Amino acid sequence: MTDAARPIKRPGLRAAVLNRVLRRYAKAPADRAPAHLDIKDDHLARGARRTAKMLKRNERVPDFMTVAPVTVPTPAGDMSAEWLYSANADRDHVILYFHGGGYFMCSAATHRPLTSRLAHGARRRVLSINYRQAPEHRFPAWLEDAVSAYRFLLAEGYAPSKIALGGDSAGGNLVLITLQQLRTEGLPMPGAAFCISPWADFACESPSLIRNNPRDVMFSGNGLRALARYHTATHDAKHPLLSPVHADFSGFPPLLIQASSTEILRDDSRRVAARARAAGVNVKLEEWHDLPHVFHLFSEFIPEGPKAIRHLTAFVQQHT
């Protein structure tokens, strides 16, 4: 059984308020999803547009942060990305970050509240990429883009030992499948990796998908299963490059995983940690009690977010 450290046993008042708001405006609509919901391309397109509009305010960054656009070459063409850094950044070290969003929504810009804090706290440059997503693109498009971004950093002169991979939700999935692909292609492993609430089982077999469904304030099990069916329509849902809970973690770098104790994806994190530990990986799992999925994005409102990010930056500084 994987040990899980719980840095905060009970959420503060602000987190409790946030949970109530999310339960009303995010979970209640999600709970209306039928058990056999069939997601179509236009559903994803509409959802992505609504999310982009809702998260427009996230594109703001603190005055002490610099955001610079960059183009990353890939076999499919140029990919947009952005550098985030502050004046104290060590130019020899970098974090390659993969945003979440179910592989169909969000972007590097929507995740600036998280990536800017990572950059400033770790004193690292962060490369946040806009990998290809559904409905226009399907697996393995995002994996190909992630590996291309890593190759880009190597070509820029970054030593593998000074690179950290990080991502949240679907981006956490992308971290874990990218590490597999780097090993397959014979590329050197990065110095460290971290995942925030990774979606790691597209077969949706983790017990928390059922047990935590009443407690999760954002997502429903039915909605997640429907999205998984969409992504795995022509693939084996248990393939390790879709569901890294079934992957071989041999040779992976030190790994830090953070998740909420009450989210439906909690046991994806537990299963990843157990799988990694069995392969001899230096892995740590932190479970933060009764907080929303990827609560780090709410750092302007709840103190638990900045504290969790400080744990991430300390881990990155220790291992890269």
How far apart, in whole angstroms, are the C-alpha atoms of residue 228 and residue 233?
Answer: 8
Cα dist from 64 to 61, 70, 117, 150, whole Å: 8, 19, 11, 27
How far apart, in whole angstroms, are the C-alpha atoms of residue 154 and residue 122?
Answer: 20
The pLDDT assigned to 1 comes to 30
The two three-digit tokens of residue 232, written as one number = 């795995």
The two three-digit tokens of residue 119, written as one number = 């950059």
User: Is residue 8 over pLDDT 80?
Assistant: no
Radius of gyration of the CA atoms of the chain, in A: 18
pTM recorded for the entire structure = 0.96
How far apart, in whole angstroms, are the C-alpha atoms of residue 49 and residue 85?
Answer: 28
User: Is residue 10 over pLDDT 90?
Assistant: no
Residue 96, phi then psi, degrees to nearest 5? -95, 115
The pLDDT assigned to 63 comes to 87
Looking up tokens 């992976």 gives 252
Do the strands 192-196 and 124-129 form a parallel or antiparallel pair, or are they unpaired?
unpaired
Note the pLDDT tens digit of each residue in 196-228. 999 999 999 999 999 999 999 999 999 999 999
- What residues are annotated to the active site? 169, 263, 293
The two three-digit tokens of residue 148, written as one number = 């291309």
How far apart, in whole angstroms, are the C-alpha atoms of residue 293 and residue 274?
Answer: 21
The pLDDT assigned to 9 comes to 60
Asked if 269 contacts 299 with a C-beta cutoff of 8 angstroms, the reply is: no
Amino acid in the structure at residue 285 = L
114 three-class SS: helix
Span of 25-39, 70-84, 132-146, 220-234 with lowest mean pLDDT: 25-39
Mean predicted lDDT score pLDDT of the chain: 94
Percent of the chain with pLDDT strictly greater than 70: 97
The pLDDT assigned to 31 comes to 85
Domain annotation for the chain: domains and CATH numbers: 4-319 (3.40.50.1820)
Q: C-alpha dihedral over 283, 315, 162, 182, to 10 degrees? A: 30
The pLDDT assigned to 4 comes to 52
User: Is residue 3 over pLDDT 60?
Assistant: no
Per-residue confidence band for 2, with pLDDT thresholds at 50, 70 and 90: very low
**Arithmetic mean of pLDDT, 147-155:** 98
pLDDT: which is higher, 7 or 14: 14
The pLDDT assigned to 79 comes to 98
User: Is residue 64 over pLDDT 50?
Assistant: yes
**Arithmetic mean of pLDDT, 95-119:** 97
Contacts (Cβ under 8 Å, ≥6 apart) of 303: 12, 14
Do the strands 65-74 and 77-86 form a parallel or antiparallel pair, or are they unpaired?
antiparallel
Note the pLDDT tens digit of each residue in 267-280. 999 999 999 999 99
Please list the residues that pair with 166 across neighbouring strands: 97, 194
The two three-digit tokens of residue 154, written as one number = 């190597």
